[in-house]
């Protein structure tokens, strides 16, 4: 396998009669196509961490995540391709059967360690954190989800992949909000950057005037889904041939269509929606749930 290939990225025009009627164009940036495993935005968020790693004499890379984490899988695979040792601290007790994501991460050489949810939750407290990382001396540590300044800087470079000036609105999903923050700081002030939070109860915060976050499209919370969401994703696929994931990009696409229906976007808007990948997470759904 090779490192991600930016030449594989396309911007797919989504052409549906109701968009034409409204005089609005929608294109989807297919970051999901850059690599079969290091999917979507994760490569961008890892870029500067990998650079920091190479600049110093670290022993390996340690990071954190849940059983279906796209970030864990992307890190494991990127580390293998670069010949770096990797370790993952996984939320929760070790199950009798590992999730597909964790099986794959192990195949890419990541050493997994499971810790109870309670301890995991408190990992931002110094004493818990130090206890956890003590077993990994001289490892370079990447926060859960690849969050932080390096992640934001890398995510901002997503905007260099295409002619960003032609869009009036750019939409992306928000988990840790690393991608959103990076894109917002790298964007022009005359275009609106819209984040769709997939987490319930995200806090309001201050940001550049051109940024806007919607908190009402989480469908019950992180990695939760409803029949309405699944039906939307199947319909979206039928209409566009584009697969989405139920944790991030399905909710993002639903939000876009809902906002279009509610006439949130003015006539002549040129919208870019970012497909940030994550399709492997759909394997956690019962077979037959999705038609793709």
Ligand X SMILES: *Cc1c(COP(=O)(O)O)cnc(C)c1O
Q: Which spans of this chain sit near ligand X (rule: CB under 6 A)?
A: 40-42, 70-71, 145, 173-180, 245, 248-249, 276-278
CB-nearest residue to ligand X: 278
To ligand X, the closest distance from the beta carbon of 92 in angstroms equals 19
Query: Between 192 and 249, whose beta carbon lies closer to ligand X?
Result: 249
* Element containing residue 139 per DSSP (H, E): strand 139-142
Quickly tell me which residue has 């989800």 as its tokens.
Answer: 145
Give residues with Cβ within 8 angstroms of 280, minimum separation 6: 37, 39, 70, 73, 100, 101, 104, 245
Query: Cα 201 vs. chain centroid, distance in angstroms?
Result: 18
Query: Between 25 and 280, whose beta carbon lies closer to ligand X?
Result: 280
To ligand X, the closest distance from the beta carbon of 259 in angstroms equals 18
Query: Between 176 and 187, whose beta carbon lies closer to ligand X?
Result: 176
Query: Between 25 and 177, whose beta carbon lies closer to ligand X?
Result: 177
To ligand X, the closest distance from the beta carbon of 160 in angstroms equals 17
To ligand X, the closest distance from the beta carbon of 148 in angstroms equals 10
Q: Please spell the DSSP secondary structure of 94-108, one letter per residue.
A: PPSS--HHHHHHHHT
* Beta strands 211-214; 139-142: pairing state: unpaired
At 112, phi and psi to the nearest 5? -100, 140
To ligand X, the closest distance from the beta carbon of 261 in angstroms equals 23
The DSSP letter of residue 204 is P
Query: Between 24 and 110, whose beta carbon lies closer to ligand X?
Result: 110
Contact 273, 249 (CB under 8 A): no
To ligand X, the closest distance from the beta carbon of 37 in angstroms equals 12
Farthest-apart Cα atoms in the chain, separation:
60
Q: What b/e readout covers 185-209, taking b as 16+ CB neighbours within 10 angstroms?
A: bbbeeebbbbbbbbeeebeeeebee
Query: Between 80 and 176, whose beta carbon lies closer to ligand X?
Result: 176
């Amino acid at each position: 396998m090779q490192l991600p290939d930016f030449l594989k990225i396309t911007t797919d025009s989504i052409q549906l009669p109701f968009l034409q009627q409204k005089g609005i164009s929608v294109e989807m940036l297919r970051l999901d196509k850059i690599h079969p495993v290091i999917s979507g935005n994760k490569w961008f968020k890892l870029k500067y961490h990998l650079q920091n790693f190479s600049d110093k004499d670290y022993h390996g890379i340690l990071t954190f995540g849940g059983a279906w984490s796209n970030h864990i899988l992307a890190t494991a695979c990127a580390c293998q391709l670069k010949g770096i040792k990797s370790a993952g601290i996984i939320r929760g007790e070790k199950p009798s059967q590992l999730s597909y994501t964790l099986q794959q991460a192990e195949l890419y050489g990541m050493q997994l360690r499971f810790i109870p949810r309670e301890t995991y939750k408190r990992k931002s407290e110094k004493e818990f954190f130090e206890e956890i990382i003590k077993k990994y001396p001289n490892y370079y540590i990447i926060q859960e989800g690849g969050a932080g300044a390096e992640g934001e800087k890398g995510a901002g470079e997503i905007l260099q992949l295409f002619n960003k000036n032609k869009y009036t609105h750019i939409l992306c999903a928000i988990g840790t909000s690393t991608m959103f923050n990076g894109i917002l700081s790298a964007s022009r002030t005359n275009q609106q950057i819209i984040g769709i939070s997939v987490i319930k109860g995200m806090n309001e915060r201050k940001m550049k005037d051109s940024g806007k976050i919607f908190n009402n499209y989480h469908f019950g919370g992180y990695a939760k889904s409803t029949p309405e969401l699944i039906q939307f994703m199947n319909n979206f696929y039928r209409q566009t041939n584009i697969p989405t994931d139920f944790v991030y990009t399905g909710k993002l696409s639903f939000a876009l269509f809902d906002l279009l229906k509610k006439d949130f976007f003015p006539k002549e808007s040129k919208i870019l929606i970012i497909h940030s990948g994550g399709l492997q997470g759909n394997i956690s759904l019962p077979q037959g749930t999705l038609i793709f």
